A and B are shown apart, each in its own frame.
Chain A
Amino acid sequence: MNRVIPGYPLSLGITLFYLCLIVLLPLGALVWQALDVGWERYVAIMSGARTASAFRVTLTTAALATLFNAVYGLALAWVLVRYEFPGRRFIDALVDVPFALPTAVAGLALSALFVKNGWFGAPLAALGISVAYTPLGIAAAMAFTSIPFVVRTVQPVLEDLATDVEEAAATLGASDWRIFARIIFPAIFPAFLTGASLAFARSLGEFGAIIFIAGNLPLKTEVVSLLTFIRIEEYDYPAAAAIASTLLGLAFVLLFLVNMIQLWQQRRIGTGD
């Protein structure tokens, strides 16, 4: 502990007070409400057809969105780190658009693009694919809002990757694909997994972007965050508490997973593996 620099009690005090008031008090209240529901009622709420369907829809569309971002995010990070081309800085700056753009605006734009006579919707309709007001639309909204996660976690690791092993493998005659699969991908895998988990977590809780494009039909295109919102509007607080606390639990599990991945990554770097 640094004894020279002043301000330790004050800064720690402010931080703890603020976190308790702004973060821990509301989350505590949510858990308290959820515990108040009781186990039997909780099971009844969660196994109800509408709730179960909302979780199924949310989990599958989030998985689909994360799959898209795993592939696109990895390719984008690779292109930004490995190649010099005109417009590279511009693309790099664009990656953060989904973080800076309000989710409601994103949802509005996506719904305008994907409706039947929209810029994307019209050509897709000719192919017999409809995105707006279907689960595909939900996945598209989730994919858009979580684009930066994989890119921004993989990018710094790819930048710091030592080139000696890669070059040694090349001089020994290994093919590009083999070097990527055996040397580069394992090195960036923890970061990649972290990014994908964060993207998945973000997709599970997404609300604003989805409701504009999803159609929001119960049992078909209703996501968990929207169902929570509807239960609140109906003053069904036990159901809202049960659903929200389950979503919160999922977020904590994913957060724990990300921390485990990062410990694993640090240990690997630490042993020079």
Chain B
Amino acid sequence: MSDHSSPQPAATTSSATTSSAPFGAVSHPPARRIRVGDGPRTRALLIGSVLFVTALVLVVPLLAIFAEALRHGWGAYLTSFAAPDTQYAMLLTLCVALIVVPINIGFGIASAWCIAKFRFRGRNLLVALVELPFSISPIIAGVAYLFVYGAQGLLGPFLEAHDIKIMFAVPGIVLASLFVTAPFVARELIPLMIAQGSEEEEAAVTLGAGGWRILRLVTLPNVRFALLYGAALCNARVMGEFGAVSVVSGNIRGQTNTLPLQIELLYQDNNAIAAFAVATVLTAVALVTLVVKAIIERLDAARVKAQGRPGH
């Protein structure tokens, strides 16, 4: 039952593994299986209107980013990246992602291990807690962190006494990003590890393997694609996080400005070309993430067909 307890929609690794129910297909010859909406006119109308709206709301915005960035040609586009502040923002964003993604991979594995392999009181509550950051506005997350580590916050006096700076500095950006992306890897791993069961791990235990060996040689190979996709999504989100980071960063040019904040600054400076040029980098990250996802789903579907069990 906890397979479907996740309120988040994007758990597509599990949706890819469910095949449509076999009822009806056995007792009816295929010719009689005309279903609701299969009439040619309904079909054409629905597909046509959905494709039209999708082109307007999902394709055109992506094209607009590249069109605006290249409005004055490749020369202007490329010089946008020569600005030192923009280069610094790229470096900072990369560093934050390099810290946050591995930590949240670790958290994802640990939480999926205890939730999928064991039954205990409060397990459903724990699942809800893991997914909680999804439902909270990034602005709230930023404000909440300010109330912990800011000058007037819970730990403010202590931090000031020891001369530790967290808010309006890189540690604050890292913490806010950790909060916002905490569920990404866990959400991909938990349903898959529950669906796969624990037989292979139990067999490994009886053969004398220790916990770390089981994790490395049995569990992680079994979930590697879901792990990879979770990490890719986590990375895209860290690099693109705006709301939470804009509260805690203080927007200091060349010091605490990540790429999305740099986009806003450039836009406010009426440097639209540069703003869109920086935006194309983050758009490329997003598109690569989606390509990774599409490849993984295809591999997964092929494996399910071959082995009849949910994805490796």
Contacts and interface: CB of A to CB of B under 8 A. Distances in A.
B282 A105 contact: yes
Interface string A86-100: 010101011111111
Residue of A82, A89, A101 with most chain B CB atoms under a 10 A cut-off: A101
Interface string A221-259: 000010011001000010011001001100110110011
Nearest to A227: B139
Contacts of A109: 61-62, 64-65, 68, 279
Interface string B133-156: 101111111111111100011100
A206 to B, nearest CB: 7
B267 interface: yes
A78 B210 contact: no
A169 B76 CA distance: 63
Contacts of B7: 194, 198, 255, 258-259, 262
Nearest to A263: B5
A29 B147 contact: yes
Interface residue range, chain B: 35 or more
Contacts of A244: 139-140, 143-144
Given A15-B110, A15-B114, A106 B42 contact: no
Contacts of A102: 236, 239-242, 259-260, 279, 282, 286
Contact of B182 (A1, A22, A93, A258): A22
A207 interface: yes
Interface in A44-73: 72
Nearest to B139: A225
B155 to A, nearest CB: 9
Contact of A93 (B8, B146, B202, B293): B293
B59 A94 contact: yes
A129 interface: no
A1 B120 CA distance: 7
A205 B58 CA distance: 21
Contacts of A255: 7, 128, 132, 135
Q: Is the interface of B mostly helix, strand, loop or mixed?
A: helix
Interface string B9-22: 11110110010110
Interface in B242-279: 242-243, 246-247, 259-261, 263-264, 267, 272, 275-276, 279
Nearest to B202: A4
A266 interface: yes
A147 B58 CA distance: 9
A7 B215 contact: yes
A201 interface: yes
Nearest to A69: B57
Contact of A27 (B25, B111, B144, B178): B144
Contact of A26 (B25, B147, B201): B147
B23 A15 contact: no
A23 B58 contact: no
Contacts of A75: 46, 49-50
Contacts of A83: 43, 46-47
A141 B247 CA distance: 20
Given A96-B10, A97-B62, A212-B267, A22 B57 contact: no
A11 B110 CA distance: 5
Contacts of B39: 176
B166 to A, nearest CB: 12
Contact of B144 (A30, A106, A211): A30
A30 to B, nearest CB: 4
A65 B180 CA distance: 23
A149 interface: yes
B33 A167 contact: yes
B138 A79 contact: no
B18 A164 contact: no
Given A26-B144, A207-B242, A176 B36 contact: yes
Contacts of B279: 102, 104-105, 108-109
B107 interface: yes
Interface of A: 1-2, 4-8, 10-12, 14-16, 18-19, 22-27, 29-30, 32-33, 72, 75-76, 78-79, 82-83, 85, 87, 89, 91, 93-106, 108-110, 112-113, 118-120, 143-144, 147-153, 155-156, 159-164, 166-167, 170, 176, 179-180, 184, 194-195, 198, 201, 204-208, 211-212, 225, 228-229, 232, 237, 240-241, 244, 247-248, 251-252, 254-255, 258-259, 262, 266
25 contacts: A1-B120, A4-B206, A6-B205, A7-B215, A15-B107, A15-B115, A30-B144, A78-B46, A91-B54, A96-B10, A99-B10, A103-B242, A110-B61, A112-B272, A155-B15, A156-B15, A159-B20, A162-B21, A176-B39, A184-B36, A204-B137, A237-B147, A244-B140, A251-B137, A252-B135
